[in-house]
Amino acid sequence: MSGPFHTALCERLGCRYPVVQTAMGWVADARLTAATCNAGGFGFLAGATIEAGSVDTVINDVKARTERPFGVNFHMFQPNAEEVLEAVIRHRVAAVSYGRGPDAKTIGRLKDAGIVCMPTVGALKHAVKAVELGADIITIQGGEGGGHTGAVPTTILLPQVVDAVDVPVVAAGGFSDGRGLVAALAWGAAGIAMGTRFLLTEESPVPLSALDRYLTTREPSVIKVSTAVDGLPQRFIENSELLRLERMGLPARLAMSARSARQWGKEAGIGPLGMAKLGLKVLRGGDNSFAQTVMAPNLPTLVQRGVVAGDPDRGLLPSGQVAAVIDELESCADLIARIMREAEDRLEALTGKETD
């Protein structure tokens, strides 16, 4: 395949189109990942929220659903990080995505196994550092993106990083259509990556009760950044639970977090000592404050209540601002076909030439 849409990203990842489905905790499951890959995109499985002991099973589930290459996301601070690392190497998955965390030795281990290392960054200095550590491709996530997010918008971060690094750069944060793909390529990106748009597909595991809240949110400003949940900036659709957390004082939030930690530890089979060790690992490994570390257990409980149990009022709904311009579910195949059709039309309108 050739043409303007066959980019370095397609070459490195082995996908047909330069469109990536990013990992989303509890959302990017085997079905969504495989559906993306079968539609010609590249899907990342959310490995950070796979239960300990189940990583092999879930990777095998993706393999049973697609013959196309796919990726796995992981977090160095998850209790079963080593299990994920061993599994991705054993299964020779095409790529891994991650945030800050893995050191050069871990990245070297993955690269030695032929796995493309593709971290997501929210600031220029993190992009430069990630390349120094061995990243093969950088995904930038502009501040309008969903989940944990930075303060720099895509329109500024993307050209900054394209100019600063010598590896392919993928643009994330605010994308949903073919215009966005052409714009990102024009900026020098090798493709786009989308979270929220893939959350709003027919293959998404999120219950309709929660999807409906995403689809009916029309105002970008109510999809806002809050630090009230785990102390780090994260974008959510504003709802009664988020407002309640924001009104709570720090002591009340920490008490709530202690309850969440006990519950989470019980479910993950980790006792109080194990939880303390995990907290220390997080504190030592990053630049999280003590409050951030102890508030972190709030996140899984409340996000699962939103996107797994489907309670749009008592749970939390992580989202990019792009949800405000999405009003219908599409299958992954229809979504990617539409994006590519729109991108071709846009490019033809700009150049006056037909694309091949």
Q: In the complex with ligand FMN, which residue's Cβ is closer, 7 or 22?
A: 22
Q: In the complex with ligand FMN, which residue's Cβ is closer, 61 or 355?
A: 61
Closest residue to ligand FMN, Cβ-based? 195
β-strand partners of 43: 21
Q: In the complex with ligand FMN, which residue's Cβ is closer, 197 or 253?
A: 197
Q: In the complex with ligand FMN, which residue's Cβ is closer, 227 or 355?
A: 227
**Minimum distance from residue 257 beta carbon to ligand FMN (Å):** 19
Q: In the complex with ligand FMN, which residue's Cβ is closer, 147 or 168?
A: 147
**Minimum distance from residue 26 beta carbon to ligand FMN (Å):** 7
Q: In the complex with ligand FMN, which residue's Cβ is closer, 62 or 353?
A: 62
**Minimum distance from residue 234 beta carbon to ligand FMN (Å):** 9
- Rounded-to-integer distance, Cα 81 and Cα 78, Å: 5
**Minimum distance from residue 93 beta carbon to ligand FMN (Å):** 16
**Minimum distance from residue 8 beta carbon to ligand FMN (Å):** 20
**Minimum distance from residue 193 beta carbon to ligand FMN (Å):** 6
Q: Which residue has the tokens 């959510």?
A: 236
Residues that bind ligand FMN (CB under 6 A): 22-25, 27, 46, 48, 73, 99, 120, 141, 144-147, 172-175, 194-197, 199, 307, 318-320, 322
**Minimum distance from residue 27 beta carbon to ligand FMN (Å):** 5
Q: In the complex with ligand FMN, which residue's Cβ is closer, 77 or 175?
A: 175
> How many Å from the N-terminal Cα to the C-terminal Cα in the chain?
10
3-state SS record for 285-350: HCCCCHHHHHHCCHHHHHHHHHHHCCCCCCCCCECCHHHHHCCCCECHHHHHHHHHHHHHHHHHHH
Q: In the complex with ligand FMN, which residue's Cβ is closer, 33 or 73?
A: 73
**Minimum distance from residue 353 beta carbon to ligand FMN (Å):** 30
